[in-house]
Amino acid sequence: MKIGFIGLGNMGAPMARNLAAAGHEVTGFDTASVTAEGVALAASAQDAARHADVVITMLPNGAILRAVAEDVLPAMQTGALFIDCSTVDVESARAVAEDANSKGMGWIDAPVSGGIGGASAGTLTFMAGGAEDDFNKAAELFDIMGQKAVHCGDAGAGQAAKICNNMILGATMIVTCEAFALADKLGLARDKMFDVVSTSSGYSWSMNAYCPAPGIGPQSPADNDYQPGFAAALMVKDLGLAQDASASVSATTPLGAHALELYKEMVADGDGDKDFSYMLPRLSA
Ligand code: NAD
């Protein structure tokens, strides 16, 4: 396939590289002078999109996605597919989907989990929203860039799944850190608490796979001085999107709201570039 790839940052560059390595003809564009192995660089986003069967975007936020889409949709071939892999607000995803569909283009919102490591290894998970036909067309590319793709529903459903997942993640990590901090004060050894909780009803991904306590459980950012991993600043972004979405539909998400406040404090204290599990040293200080 001819693929236009717009946004060759930490995530986009390795994803574009993997598509090129699998034999696709990838033309990339990024406003910063960055490159990706095997990817031909275009002079503009429109040039990257013009002859593409599929345009993929991996951009910082919804406002930039809307601007890029407004620019490239008129240049795209009718019948081409627009796949946005960025994490953006549900509203922007739905607005751009409508615009794409009205101009005769397919649309899939497909935010990812798996981080930079997953992007590089081609093991991302895609959460996709859009028409069934469009999802089926995109599936071949998801297979190259990832290990799993779930069709979650209509346009915007991928972004909804992403923010629901990350709201659970953010809140679960905090309460896992609170439990370690409480155990410390009660004289309960951290490794004993891990032994019990990781096989009891308090288990979670945060405890079992990404334990915030150094030296306990499998290797995690806690064992590497809390280098990310998943930076607290990115958690603030995702929890903020979750709260915006929650407010827009009058949902009740008090723990998600409180998790956002605690991560905002971490960022305000200058620790936004640390892994989000750095909540543990903060709570046990
Ligand atoms: P990044 O900042 O490294 O990359 C974004 C790229 O977009 C940059 O290279 C920037 O120059 C480029 N860009 C900005 N405006 C542009 C424009 N108008 N036209 C073309 N290029 C433009 O960010 P990232 O870490 O690659 O994240 C990208 C997206 O993936 C974000 O939405 C993020 O929330 C999401 N995400 C990131 C991670 C992660 O661990 N980094 C994990 C999951 C999801």
Q: Are 107 and 82 spatial neighbours (Cβ–Cβ below 8 Å)? A: yes
Share of residues in the chain with pLDDT > 70 (%): 100
Over range 249-273, report the average pLDDT: 98
Which residues are part of the catalytic machinery? 162
Residue 285 has pLDDT above 90, yes or no: no
- Contact at 8 Å (CB) between 180 and 284? yes
Alpha-carbon distance values, 5 to 71, 151, 179 (Å)? 14, 21, 43
- pLDDT for 170-216, tens place per residue? 999 999 999 999 999 999 999 999 999 999 999 999 999 999 999 99
Ligand 1 in reach of 59 Cβ (< 6 A)? yes
Q: Is the pLDDT of residue 16 over 90?
A: yes
> What's the CA-to-centroid distance between 60 and ligand 1, angstroms?
4
Is ligand 1 within 6 A of the CB of residue 118?
Answer: no
Does residue 87 surpass a pLDDT of 90? yes
Q: Ligand 1 test: best mutation among 8, 11, 124, most atoms within 8 Å of CB?
A: 11
SS3 of the chain: the string is: CEEEEECCCCCHHHHHHHHHHCCCEEEEECCCCCCCCCCEECCCHHHHHCCCCEEEECCCCHHHHHHHHHHHHHHCCCCCEEEECCCCCHHHHHHHHHHHHHCCCEEEECCEECHHHHHHHCCEEEEEEECHHHHHHHHHHHHHHEEEEEEEECCCHHHHHHHHHHHHHHHHHHHHHHHHHHHHHHCCCHHHHHHHHCCCCCCCHHHHCCCCCCCCCCCCHHHHCCCCCCEHHHHHHHHHHHHHHHHHCCCCCHHHHHHHHHHHHHHHHHHCCCEHHHHHHHHCC
Q: Which residues of 116-131 are buried (b: 16+ CB within 10 A; e: fewer)?
A: eebbbebebbbbbbbb
Predicted pLDDT at 243? 98
In this structure, are residues 112 and 146 in contact, taking their beta carbons and an 8 Å threshold?
Answer: yes
- How many angstroms is it from 58 CA to the middle of ligand 1? 5
Angstrom distance (rounded) from CA 254 to CA 28: 41
Question: 285 CB less than 6 Å from ligand 1?
Answer: no
Instruction: Write 251-260 long-range contacts (CB < 8 A, 24+).
Output: 253/167, 255/171, 256/167, 256/170, 256/171, 258/171, 259/167, 259/170, 259/171, 259/174, 260/170, 260/236
**Residue 33 pLDDT grade (very low, low, confident, very high; cuts 50, 70, 90):** confident
- CA–CA dist 238, 30 (Å, integer): 23
**Residue range 16-20: mean pLDDT, rounded:** 98
* pLDDT score at 54: 98
pLDDT single digits (tens) 91-150 = 999 999 999 999 999 999 999 999 898 999 999 999 999 999 999 999 999 999 999 999
Q: Is the CB of residue 71 less than 8 Å from the CB of residue 42? A: no
List beta partners, residue 197: none
Q: pLDDT: is 33 or 217 the higher one?
A: 217
Cβ–ligand 1 distance for 241 under 6 Å, the answer no
What pLDDT is recorded for position 232?
Answer: 98
Q: What's the pLDDT band for 69 if we cut at 50, 70, 90?
A: very high
pLDDT value, residue 35: 86
